[in-house]
Amino acid sequence: MSDALRTPFSGRAGAALKDAFLQEALKIATTKFIDLRKESFSGFPQGEALRDRARAIKEATLQHLDVHLERLADHVERLGGTVHWATTAEEARGIVLRLCRDRGVRTAVKSKSMATEEIDLNEALEHAGVTPIETDLGEYIIQLAHEKPSHIIAPAIHKTKGQVAELFSRELRGEFPADPEVLTAVARKALREKFLQADMGITGANFAVADTGTVVLVTNEGNGRMVTSLPRIHVALMGVEKVIPSMSDLVVFLAILARSATGQKLSSYTTLVRGPRRAGELEGPEEFHLVLLDNGRSRQIASTLREALYCLRCGACLNVCPVYRQIGGHAYGYTYPGPIGILLTAMLKGNASVRELAHASSLCGACKDVCPVRIDIPRMLVELRGHLDREKIAPWTERVVFKAFRRLLLSPTAFRLSATVGRWLQRPFVRQGRLRGLPLLFGRWTRTRDLPPVAARTFREQWKDLR
């Protein structure tokens, strides 16, 4: 169990709410991402049709995932690469560590990869005496701070520029101002020589094209290119769901991915990797290895979480989520935060791991609205809560309350009766036409806001409307 998980979710969330720096950083960054995305799609009328197309491609690919993966593996091997199949996180770590050991790797530079975070690769490398160096600026910041990413695309979103300046000044021994340009230049200088020293480059993959054996990296800093071309070995580690059939499908995804993530038409760098360096080529690694990671994904193809496998990891659902916007990523306690993170965590670690997190959503639907592949996250969260109940993972108090509530809603007589009682009970708390200062458990509802009282209309009328 990670240290973060020793504190219950309510404690982690409470601490996040009290952290003024975190609140400031989250508000600035998520609001900026939301505005950039909105602006980008508003000037892109074909965007909606492309989102439908992307969703259809993902769905069709999952129907024949095995076929696409075999084709991808064939093409990668024909290009001179080596493909490794990892059923579990442990197997994936073992593959990378074996490569390091057999080839005498001492230093590995990495570009941003949530898949490597998922399998705790950095810790495993360090334990084996290999120094991993993150080269994405956000990842570099959190590596220096000995933290985990708190956002899928912006790992250091929880830090203000002042905090980064302090961190750099301490860790890189200097006096650096809280100026993003200066801080970027400092990181760039520190990292430049690491690329040249490293024996291995480790990346994730945003997509892998089955028809051509192409691994695609989408980045904004150019570090992906250095990681894939300067070290003598390149290892790309990707979840099996990242495979797509063809280059024409890739065009669809590229058109909506960056718009959803950062509001850009395209990311600054789209790197297409096709095997190791070939005879006569001046650049590129001597060896290319592709690790295909399952880690529980394939068993979800027939489950209620299936749609979560469409995820492009753009982060848009995090930015708009009213829960994420308040508590940030670390409070979730696992690699993948936000509403999609709850589903991915359930997928990878089992339903019991999200006993509390399954409720960390208001089910407002904002995540579904912005998702480039229209993943119905709220529906899956409701279904997940149902599973927790049926599997008796949810606390018994919660199960009893919801069972009673269900019975009430299914019986018009019980519903009318309880409504009449509720209307009578609310009387002492209606002030100036609003419900205020509710007692006991209900107090949390009115601590920071007023509620409308039961309408003057009878419950019989309201019930008729509902039916």
Question: Residue 381 Cβ, how far from ligand SF4 at the closest point, in Å?
Answer: 12
- Site residues for ligand SF4, 245-284, by CB under 6 A, read 260
Question: Residue 336 Cβ, how far from ligand SF4 at the closest point, in Å?
Answer: 9
Question: Residue 289 Cβ, how far from ligand SF4 at the closest point, in Å?
Answer: 26
Question: Residue 186 Cβ, how far from ligand SF4 at the closest point, in Å?
Answer: 30
Tokens 């760098």, located at residue: 269
* Nearest CB to ligand SF4, comparing residues 260 and 267: 260
CA angle 142, 217, 181 (to 5 degrees): 45
Tokens representing 155 are 């790992």
* Nearest CB to ligand SF4, comparing residues 230 and 360: 360
Work out which of 22, 72, 144, 311 binds ligand SF4, going by CB under 6 A.
311
Work out which of 312, 354, 366, 454 binds ligand SF4, going by CB under 6 A.
312
* Parallel/antiparallel/unpaired status of strands 107-110 and 200-203: parallel
* Nearest CB to ligand SF4, comparing residues 227 and 321: 321
DSSP states along 81-133: -EEEEESSHHHHHHHHHHHHHHTT--EEEE---HHHHHTTHHHHHHHTT-EEE
- Site residues for ligand SF4, 371-410, by CB under 6 A, read 371-373, 375
Residue 19 main-chain phi, psi, to 5 deg:
-85, 100
Listed residue (299, 334, 322) closest to 17, CA to CA: 322
* Nearest CB to ligand SF4, comparing residues 33 and 195: 33
As a whole number of Å, the CA-based R_g of the chain is 25
Question: Residue 239 Cβ, how far from ligand SF4 at the closest point, in Å?
Answer: 12
Q: Tell me the β-bridge partners of 203.
A: 236
The Cα–Cα gap between 467 and 453 comes to 22
SS3 state at 431: strand
Candidates 74-82, 173-181, 220-228, 305-313: pick the segment binding ligand SF4 (CB under 6 A): 305-313
Looking at residue 334, the DSSP 8-state letter turns out to be: S
Candidates 154-162, 321-329, 370-378, 379-387: pick the segment binding ligand SF4 (CB under 6 A): 370-378
Site membership for ligand SF4, residue 50 (CB under 6 A): no
SS3 state at 86: strand
Work out which of 119, 191, 290, 340 binds ligand SF4, going by CB under 6 A.
340
Give the number of residues in contact with ligand SF4, rule: CB under 6 A.
Answer: 15
Listed residue (87, 113, 216) closest to 122, CA to CA: 113
Candidates 132-140, 297-305, 308-316, 348-356: pick the segment binding ligand SF4 (CB under 6 A): 308-316
The Cα–Cα gap between 123 and 116 comes to 10
Looking at residue 441, the DSSP 8-state letter turns out to be: G
* Nearest CB to ligand SF4, comparing residues 81 and 315: 315
* Nearest CB to ligand SF4, comparing residues 89 and 153: 153
Question: Residue 306 Cβ, how far from ligand SF4 at the closest point, in Å?
Answer: 13
For residue 265, give every residue at least 6 positions away whose Cβ sits within 8 Å of its Cβ, in sequence order, or none.
Answer: 40, 258, 259
* Nearest CB to ligand SF4, comparing residues 291 and 375: 375
Question: Residue 5 Cβ, how far from ligand SF4 at the closest point, in Å?
Answer: 22
Listed residue (103, 243, 74) closest to 95, CA to CA: 103
Tokens representing 301 are 């193809």
- Site residues for ligand SF4, 138-157, by CB under 6 A, read 152
Looking at residue 231, the DSSP 8-state letter turns out to be: S
Binding mask 64-103 for ligand SF4 (x = CB under 6 A): ----------------------------------------
Q: Tell me the β-bridge partners of 435.
A: 430, 451
Number of separate helices (H) and strands (E) present in the chain: 21, 12
Listed residue (310, 300, 277, 276) closest to 290, CA to CA: 276
Question: Residue 254 Cβ, how far from ligand SF4 at the closest point, in Å?
Answer: 14
Q: CB of 291 within 8 A of CB of 86?
A: yes
426: left (phi over 0), alpha (psi -120 to 50) or beta: alpha
Work out which of 224, 276, 315, 328 binds ligand SF4, going by CB under 6 A.
315
* Nearest CB to ligand SF4, comparing residues 124 and 240: 240
Residues near ligand SF4 (CB under 6 A): 152, 260, 311-317, 340, 370-373, 375
